[in-house]
């Protein structure tokens, strides 16, 4: 298949994107474009390089080679500006167990200098959106896996990101909890949020545009 034409208006633009860890090639020269409003999925088994790719898009890991632009900016020089406009749901839950449900969002909002009253209103709205409003004052620890994942999604939306990155958002959840996460993501897409996500569940390769290659060891 021919290399897709370069589209400068893509929210994520990658050509020959590569990540190496010493001799291990974790991401092997992949090309993709994520257009505004699109939901884009990386589908592949464990070890395929999905998290490595997401971390490069999220500007927390530098590419070893190739070209990458996120929101039209260069992650190497504009990392903080890009990160301020991203929503990130990491593969492992990183919720603060010391804080209550609503406090997890309010505290996160402070990193983005969101005024307190705006953060309060947004927290209420987002907890409603992820169906956790009645748990707002509860501890995080006893929440189910699905609830924690939904709370992490709400947290990722606090800064009203134009681009939402989700690394295996449904992994480890039971079918009902997975369904609820997918339903919320579907609504976000309808609201115009651009979504990039990964999954290793073959039945969740729901987007027509998939891109992932297994990592391989260099000879």
Ligand X SMILES: Nc1ncnc2c1ncn2[C@@H]1O[C@H](COP(=O)(O)OP(=O)(O)O)[C@@H](O)[C@H]1O
Identify whether the C-beta of residue 14 lies closer than 8 Å to the C-beta of residue 33.
yes
Number of residues that bind ligand X (CB under 6 A): 12
Identify whether the C-beta of residue 84 lies closer than 8 Å to the C-beta of residue 35.
no
Strand partners, 88: 165
37 contributes a contact to ligand X by CB under 6 A: no
Stretch that binds ligand X, among 1-9, 48-56, 92-100, 149-157 (CB under 6 A): 48-56
Near ligand X by CB under 6 A: residue from 18, 32, 52, 181: 52
Q: Which two tokens stand for residue 172?
A: 């480890």
51 contributes a contact to Mg ion by CB under 5 A: yes
Smallest gap from Cβ 63 to ligand X, in A, equals 13
Stretch that binds Mg ion, among 7-15, 45-53, 64-72, 210-218 (CB under 5 A): 45-53
Determine the 3-state secondary structure of 126 from DSSP: helix
Nearest residue to Mg ion by CB is 51
Angle at 166 between CA 175 and CA 55, to 5 degrees: 140
Nearer to ligand X, 31 or 103 (CB): 31
Q: How far apart are CA 147 and CA 150, in angstroms?
A: 5
* 24 binding partner (options Mg ion, ligand X, none; Cβ < 5 to 8 Å by kind): ligand X
Smallest gap from Cβ 51 to ligand X, in A, equals 3
Q: Is 66 left (phi over 0), alpha (psi -120 to 50) or beta?
A: left
Nearer to Mg ion, 4 or 45 (CB): 45
Q: How far apart are CA 140 and CA 53, in angstroms?
A: 29
Near ligand X by CB under 6 A: residue from 34, 43, 50, 193: 50
Q: Which two tokens stand for residue 2?
A: 């021919």
Q: Which two tokens stand for residue 212?
A: 């992932």
44 contributes a contact to ligand X by CB under 6 A: yes
Q: How far apart are CA 136 and CA 138, in angstroms?
A: 6
Closest-CA residue to 120 (of 139, 99, 105)? 105
Near ligand X by CB under 6 A: residue from 24, 29, 73, 84: 24
Binding string, 88-117, against Mg ion, x = CB under 5 A? ---x--------------------------
Give the interface with ligand X as residue ranges (CB under 6 A).
21, 24, 26, 44, 46-52, 215
Binding site for Mg ion (CB under 5 A): 50-51, 91
């Amino acid at each position: 298949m021919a290399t897709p034409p370069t589209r400068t208006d893509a929210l994520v633009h990658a050509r020959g994107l590569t990540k190496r860890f010493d001799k291990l090639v974790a991401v092997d020269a992949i090309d993709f474009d994520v257009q505004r409003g699109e939901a884009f999925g990386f589908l592949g088994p464990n070890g395929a390089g999905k998290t490595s790719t997401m971390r490069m898009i999220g500007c927390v890991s530098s590419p070893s080679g190739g070209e990458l632009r996120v929101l039209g900016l260069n992650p190497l020089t504009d990392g903080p500006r890009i990160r301020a406009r991203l929503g990130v749901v990491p593969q492992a839950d990183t919720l603060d167990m010391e804080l209550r449900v609503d406090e997890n969002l309010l505290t996160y909002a402070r990193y983005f200098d969101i005024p307190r009253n705006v953060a309060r209103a947004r927290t209420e709205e987002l907890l409603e959106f992820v169906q956790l409003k009645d748990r707002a004052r509860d501890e995080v620890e006893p929440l189910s896996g699905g609830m924690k994942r939904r709370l992490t999604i709400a947290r990722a939306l606090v800064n009203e990101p134009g681009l939402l990155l989700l690394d295996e958002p449904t992994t480890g959840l039971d079918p009902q909890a997975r369904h609820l996460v997918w339903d919320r993501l579907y609504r976000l897409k309808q609201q115009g949020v651009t979504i990039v996500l990964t999954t290793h569940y073959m039945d969740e390769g729901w987007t027509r545009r998939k891109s992932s290659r297994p990592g391989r060891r260099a000879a």
